[in-house]
Structure 1
Amino acid sequence: MSLLQPRPRSGPLGRVNPVAKLGAGLLIAFPLILSVDWVSAVTALILEVPLMLLAGLRWREFWVRTAPVWIAAPLTGVTIALYGEASGQVHFQWLFVHISDGSLSLAMAAVFRIIAIALPGVALFATVDPTDLADGLSQRVRLPARFVLGALGGLRLVGLLVDDWRELELARRARGVADTGRLRRLGGMAFALIVLAIRRGSTLATSMEARGFGAPTPRTWARVSPWTWREWTLLLAGAAISSTAVAVAVATGSWNLILGDGA
């Protein structure tokens, strides 16, 4: 099984409703988005460690899945440190580059914020099955079933696009038209892939309507989306992490609301 595919649900958080995982991630991210300070981000990151340990990911899988986060966060910090608004003592200046105390502090806050927001989302959603998420969004959040199931059907077909691209490439090589003109070949294959996707989407839409999708009558569900004390516990944990991070930042005087005068 690929490390980039959802794993079988394991670990204490593996069988928690995906809607609760989504809600916990949003509760953690909300205060981190509102403030530009490193104290709240570091506090939230420390408190998130138990959640990531309970997610049931192996260490190698964890690092593979979170590799984009570890790459994007430092690059963002370097960019802000070089080109952020200069304030305080300026350590280096050249053309548009200004490295100052203010830009370095903002860069550090941005790095920790990105990591604190992204890591729990990756860890919690590593074991989420798209069908379970669709069931939860429809049954618990009460989103329109037609929209949710249509998105689920489209998501299930994403993997077929890779197979279609591979088959198109092999077919063109078999006909001897894939050896020259790489840019022209990519354009032709992309157009052919779009045509295949439209045809498959039309077939899927017709099949779904033939099975009663979009009918005005109430739907029945093959699987009930559970909601027990585990889901409430995870939501309370997310709220506790965010509130504690805000409290620590306010107590230390580092809370810097983006919409405030100190932003």
Structure 2
Amino acid sequence: MTVAQDISKASPLGRLNPLTLFAVCLAYLAAAATSFDAGFQISVVVLVAAVLLAVQRVPPLLLLVLMVPFVLFGMGFITTNLLFRRDSDFAVHLAGSESGAALSAGLTLSLRALACGAVSILFALSVDPGAFVRALIAYLRFPARLGYALFVAMQLVPDLLAEAAHLRMARAMRTGRPVGRVPGPSEMAGLMVPLLAFAVRRAGRSAVAMEARGFGALPARAMVGVPGFSWRDAAFGLTSLAVLAPLLVF
């Protein structure tokens, strides 16, 4: 999460309003989810990868690591169609393959998963989570309580990882054993109760903080640091839609 925030703040797309990039990503996701054309899916993956590498300056190794879950998910479609022969006639028809071509249907669905995953990675690495939540509250009337809960959740995840690392180090010092790279099943079971207690304490403090801030007391709230709109948002939105339209047509 820290790496994503650093990339988003230092990137050109990080200067845009988060809602602009959110709307563009939603448009591309909707197109990728409803299209079964293999050429369109490949074009989306190549386009997003080019933006991440050339514009966002994302390290190629990081991009490959982030794409691994989507590659595995796409391979599941291929193996399912090959092993169980449960190919979708609708998907095969839209892909331009012969009816019953299990491999073609699996590849088409796999490319769709890769395209959706690439667009999701672009959004995650280009938007500051805090600015996105503030924009949701300010412009889309997102409930302030839920927004503050999202802030707490974003801070809780790295804090839980740090607390787990401290607990593992303390146990290693007490037992005289080196800290392993990956915790084993017994060590994970021993960390569950302390981490749960840590999360419960943080939840109590967050509830007190929300009460102190008077959430729900007034219908309108003053906000600081709300991202605004500029000519960059209009230029980026029109350019993105202008690129999407010919991809859908051809």
Normalising by the residue count of structure 1, what TM-score does the alignment of the two structures yield?
Answer: 0.74
Contact 1:86 1:103 in 2 (8 A): yes
Contact 1:24 1:239 in 2 (8 A): yes
Amino acid aligned to 1:78: T
Q: What do the CA deviations read for 1:117-146 (whole angstroms, capped 9, x no partner)?
A: 221321342142221111111112221122
* Residue 29 of structure 2 is aligned to residue 29 of structure 1: yes
Q: What do the CA deviations read for 1:162-209 (whole angstroms, capped 9, x no partner)?
A: 122122223334444999xx6455333212211210111111210222
Pick 1 or 2: higher relative contact order, CA cutoff 8 A, min separation 6: 1
Task: Give the 3 Å change call, closer, same or farther, for CA 188–43 of structure 1 in structure 2.
Answer: closer
Between the aligned partners of 1:34 and 1:79, the Cα distance in structure 2 is 21
Could you tell me which residue of structure 1 aligns to residue 199 of structure 2? 197
The Cα of 1:150 is off from its aligned counterpart by 1.4
Could you tell me which residue of structure 2 aligns to residue 227 of structure 1? 229
Could you tell me which residue of structure 2 aligns to residue 134 of structure 1? 133
The Cα of 1:27 is off from its aligned counterpart by 0.4
Alignment of 1:51-70 (within 5 A): 51-52=51-52, 53-70=54-71
Give the stretch that moved more between structures: 20-29 or 231-240.
Answer: 231-240
Alignment of 1:1-263 (within 5 A): 3=3, 6-7=6-7, 9-48=9-48, 51-52=51-52, 53-85=54-86, 102-176=101-175, 183-248=185-250
Contact 2:134 2:226 in 1 (8 A): yes
Stretches of structure 1 that go unaligned for 5 or more consecutive residues are 89-99, 249-263
Between the aligned partners of 1:131 and 1:184, the Cα distance in structure 2 is 36
Between the aligned partners of 2:137 and 2:220, the Cα distance in structure 1 is 12
Between the aligned partners of 2:3 and 2:130, the Cα distance in structure 1 is 19
Structure holding more helix per residue: 2
Contact 1:81 1:106 in 2 (8 A): no
Between the aligned partners of 1:135 and 1:69, the Cα distance in structure 2 is 29
Q: Which has the larger radius of gyration?
A: 1
Contact 2:8 2:125 in 1 (8 A): no
Contact 1:3 1:61 in 2 (8 A): no
Task: Give the 3 Å change call, closer, same or farther, for CA 11–158 of structure 1 in structure 2.
Answer: closer
Contact 1:41 1:112 in 2 (8 A): yes
Give the stretch that moved more between structures: 119-128 or 148-157.
Answer: 119-128
SS at match of 2:15: coil
Give the stretch that moved more between structures: 74-83 or 161-170.
Answer: 74-83
User: How many aligned positions are there?
Assistant: 235
Between the aligned partners of 1:84 and 1:58, the Cα distance in structure 2 is 39
Normalising by the residue count of structure 2, what TM-score does the alignment of the two structures yield?
Answer: 0.78
Contact 1:24 1:238 in 2 (8 A): yes
The Cα of 1:210 is off from its aligned counterpart by 0.7
Task: Give the 3 Å change call, closer, same or farther, for CA 188–177 of structure 1 in structure 2.
Answer: farther
Amino acid aligned to 2:190: G
